[in-house]
A and B are shown apart, each in its own frame.
Chain A
Amino acid sequence: MAGASVKVAVRVRPFNSREIGKESKCIIQMSGNTTTIINPKQAKDNKSFNFDYSYWSHTTPEDVNYASQMRVYKDIGEEMLLHAFEGYNVCIFAYGQTGAGKSYTMMGKQDVKDQQGIIPLLCEDLFTKISDNTDNSMSYSVEVSYMEIYCERVRDLLNPKNKGHLRVREHPLMGPYVEDLSKLAVTSYNDIQDLMDSGNKARTVAATNMNETSSRSHAVFNIIFTQKRHDAETDNTSEKVSKISLVDLAGSERADSTGAKGTRLKEGANINKSLTTLGKVISALAEMDSGPNKNKKKKKAEGFIPYRDSVLTWLLRENL
């Protein structure tokens, strides 16, 4: 896809009460699009990283350097919407530990002025642009779906009564999709807001060992945006369909501590304790390149590894 690009933004939030109580020191500094992690014990040991955007939100709006929700939206959300209107699929992930502020950035606070997150601002903007359109040959339709991925199972948050989990499948013409996932038509931002609220309420309530529901499941909110142009001369209708995927990822802290049956393979030199990971270890062996003798002309024998991509990766493959 021409002009396909990946942008990375980093954002730092204010201290919460626990952190204030412990008199924590902030070890993050930002300047321009560079984020620096300070080593309080060794001043020379600072490490700096460049991103597309570094958002300093540690202080308050009174601070001139403060990056507000609106600023984040203007940088990131507006461009996404533009691409969507051009007919491209766009995707945004929020990644970080539980409590880092992912949901604040993505959803924000609904009822508080100026604290709406990317998703509500984007949706508002979408409908504003639609209603601002004066070209009669253009017509638009917007549908949404909202699903939750928890322990590799997909749930329809807009139809939570459907107790079972949904299967993910591939269709030759439609591509990858979630079977029976509700796709509801919406005509205004309010519609979207209502659906999001009810969807959020339906997110998985804690099983044992888990507290915050949102900390363990991924939520994917999809907006399917169809633009139809009717050419009066030829009487043909062409259409552009783009998908806007808004992903609120589960907390990135180690899966182990959930006690959930983590069969995620540990990285590096770590040893996996449980025999349930035997399959992953064997797969890794089968996939390893054979030593230094990599004769390029000789095609390496290929095997089939019975291994499934995680549901999330698979569904968002086209975006990745």
Chain B
Amino acid sequence: MASLSSDEWRAICDKFTNAQNLTEVESRNDPENDPFRSKYKARELLREIYCSLKSFEVSEGEEDGGGESGDPRPAEQPVDGQREDGFGQGFSGDSPAGLRAAKLGAVEYYLGVNHVDTEELSAGQEHLMNCMKLLGRCSVSSENVSLFIHVRNQLGILWAGRDETETAQGFLETAESIYQHYMKEDGSPPTDMTEYFTTEEKLLTHQERTKRFELAYTHTMYYLAQVYKNLGQTERAATYCHSTLQRQLQLNQFNPMEWALNAATLSQYYITKGRYMEGRHCLSAATVISGLAGEVPSEAAAQESETENERREQLRQKRAEIARCWIKYCLNLLQDAKKLLEDNIGELDTDRQDELKRARRGEEEEEEKGRKSALLFGSEDTFDSIASLEEKVRCLFPLDFTEARAVFLVGQNYVTQAKEYFQMDGYVTDHIEILQDHSALFRALAFFEEDLERRCKMHKRRVDMLEPICTDLNAQYYLMIRRQLMFELAETYSEMMDLKLTLANRQADTQSLDSHTIKKFNHLCSASAKYFQMFLDSLCSPEGKVPEHLEEEVLRPALVARFRVARLHSRLISSSPSVQLDNLNRSLENYKYVVQYCETHPEAATTVETELELSKEMVGLLPLKINRLKARMAANN
């Protein structure tokens, strides 16, 4: 290796070890008012190493007597920013000149990182670029490929920090192609950065070398993910996040719970893009890997030790969060299926259903192919567990009640799991969000249910779940949530009311309804109106004053609520004329409000176009109806 005397060489190696130690260990103890003390010391040592190497190089050059062709042509390097495959000219990486360049380059690299860490970006950049130039004269080989990658990773970070994302992208993409090319052409465990200045005995094992090299590339993937995200290329960013996760598993460089949560979060990205197969895979992997984190400490163990207590909390909480991600998977799958299948009045379109069922037969084969090309997570141990979990729930849209119910049941199961941890007493907001998801699951399933009676029962489940909560919450702290619940309850009661009417109309031959049905109908109608009204009341001041101006977030719901209250009151059935009059007056009052508010606030009109139009009509028609009724009442007296 070196013609430096072995003493001189050892001295250099020691200096390097010191520098590393200062940078990584000692620096943590640097005081607040001199935070870079150790790093400045490390810098001096690195400079000394550089000088030693340089002076040695001069003498080496004389010895060689121009062994290599005089002034080396710059190797056809992969130009950063372009994916080129010009590897091969200039010094060979493993030649003496190549090794010298690598060593010098490594020192420049460490100096570069040192300057960046001490916030001297320009100097850092200079050193890193020097490293690049030195390497530029060499071809890629196992002696220097790690350095090739590392220096580009650093330059990527540096330029990103200056908001020059495309420049960063260039460096990182080149690192990517260098890695891929190297693995294809060579693949042997490359020299690690730290090994340039170690003595023979301390060289790393092949295994360790590979591990570190792969970790460097994992970082390249991660940095590219961030770059793509910053460029707005979210899909590409997601793919690179996926690759990063995949690599962490393959290289066994992960913390199970952290990995599981990240995979579960990635699944949510896929879900929002409608990519259910990938989403399901992420979630299944998340569940399996979270199991690797071990058993939850028992309550008894948790009582005795603070660390066990914390561990118990952490594990339970994170697993419950993964369950919540699964709930979203099931819910979104059902909701998206509904969107595909519904006609223009929100009912299941059977023609479309048949059409989609036919198309699906082809789709299942596509699923298989897609599966293979998609990035699979896991290792030998986990592939099977992940696959078997995936088999428990479909990733293609459910097209009928049976299929929908299967998805619903999986979702419901996760609801139960999640609620075990996120209990009401302690986690009010989370608990209620889970209930809201559960209610939404029922709502989505109801769409597929053909039997109207059973459909109504599903809505009743929703009401039973949410109604008690609404009243038991502190009105001040949980204002937002209460409003959401009120609105949902109002709409659910309305749905039930409509269903009851449809059912009754189907059964009865004549137009008239029996008194039992009327009572039921009125109950549902009033309940719906009550909750809409409660919502409206929640917008008032503590003294009960109606707000003159509605805030943007509540504008549309408030106007819709007014409209619905109006409509519901006009639908209440009563045989008593005075009650009828009351209802009609309430109805008119609310329609008028909508019209008047939109007049005084023109921007509001655009948010409730349909409702406004109908309100205007009713404001015209209702007074006539009211007068007719009054006339009849007078006539009868």
In contact, B335 and A281 (Cβ under 8 angstroms): no
Chain A interface size, as a band, is: 35 or more
Please give me the 8 A-B residue pairs with the lowest Cβ-Cβ distance, nearest first.
A303-B268, A175-B477, A211-B32, A306-B321, A170-B428, A286-B269, A271-B160, A169-B426
A271 touches B157 (CB 8 A): yes
On chain A, the residues within 8 Å of B269 by CB distance are 282, 285-286, 303
Interface 9-mer from A30-38, A123-131, A143-151, A272-280: A272-280
Given the interface pairs A259-B28, A268-B163, A304-B268, the reply to whether A171 lies near B425 with Cβ below 8 Å is yes
B429 touches A170 (CB 8 A): yes
Chain B residues positioned under 8 Å from A257 (CB to CB): 35
Please indicate the chain A residues that have their CB under 8 angstroms from the CB of B428 in the complex.
170-172
Q: Tell whether A303 pairs with B32 under 8 Å between CB atoms, given A169-B427, A174-B474, A270-B160.
A: no
Give CA–CA (A172, B72) in the complex, Å. 76
**A278 and B262 form a contact (CB under 8 A):** yes
Please give, as numbers and ranges, the residues of chain A lying within 8 Å of B248 by CB-CB distance.
275
Which residue of B237, B336, B426, B478 contacts A175 across the interface (Cβ within 8 Å)? Answer: B478
Q: Are B30 and A209 in contact (CB under 8 A)?
A: yes
A278 — which chain B residues lie within 8 A by C-beta?
222, 241, 244-245, 262
Nearest-CB residue, chain B, relative to A272: B226
Q: Contacts A285-B238, A301-B271 hold; do A271 and B226 have CB atoms under 8 A apart?
A: yes
Q: Which residues of A contact B637 (CB under 8 A)?
A: none
Q: Which residues of A contact B (CB under 8 A)?
A: 2, 163-164, 169-176, 208-212, 215, 257, 259, 268-273, 275-276, 278-279, 281-286, 288, 290, 298, 300-307, 318
Please provide the chain B residues from 304 to 362 with a CB less than 8 Å away from any CB of chain A in the complex.
Answer: 306, 318, 321-322, 324-325, 327-328, 332, 335-336, 339
Q: Are A209 and B325 in contact (CB under 8 A)?
A: no
Cβ–Cβ contact B241 & A281, under 8 A:
yes
Give the distance to chain A from B220, nearest Cβ to Cβ, in Å. 11
Bound-state Cα–Cα, A99 to B161, Å: 27
> Which residues of chain B come closer than 8 Å to A307, judged between CB atoms?
265
Contact residues of B between 396 and 454, Cβ < 8 Å to A: 424-429
Instruction: For A87, give the chain B residue with the smallest CB separation.
Output: B542
Query: Is there an interface contact between A208 and B157, defined as CB atoms closer than 8 Å?
Result: no
- Which of B131-139, B227-235, B379-387 contacts the other chain? B227-235
> Is B156 engaged at the interface, CB distance under 8 Å to the other chain?
yes
Q: Are B266 and A271 in contact (CB under 8 A)?
A: no
Return the contact of B321 from the options A276, A288, A304 (Cβ within 8 A). Answer: A304
B225 within 8 A of A: yes
Q: Chain B residues with Cβ under 8 A from A212's Cβ?
A: 32
Query: Complex: how many Å from CA A249 to CA B234?
Result: 35
CB-CB under 8 A for A302 and B168, given A172-B425, A174-B474: no
Contact of A301 among B227, B238, B244, B274 (CB under 8 A): B274
The answer to whether residues A273 and B157 also contact, given A278-B262, A285-B269, A290-B272 and a CB cut-off of 8 A, is yes
Q: Which of B261, B332, B426 meets A306, CB within 8 Å?
A: B261
Closest to A259 in B: B28
Establish whether residues A302 and B262, one from each chain, have CB atoms under 8 Å apart when the complex forms. Answer: no
A160 to chain B, nearest CB (A): 16
- Looking across the interface, which residue of chain A has its beta carbon closest to that of B261? A306
Task: Give the residues in chain A near B267, CB-CB below 8 Å.
Answer: 303
Contact B244 A286 (CB under 8 A): no
A211→B34 CA distance, assembly (Å): 11
Does B31 count as interface, using CB distance less than 8 angstroms? yes
Q: Is the CB of A301 within 8 A of B265?
A: no
Give 6 new A-B contacts, CB below 8 A, not counting A172-B474, A303-B328.
Answer: A164-B306, A170-B427, A176-B477, A275-B218, A288-B234, A303-B272
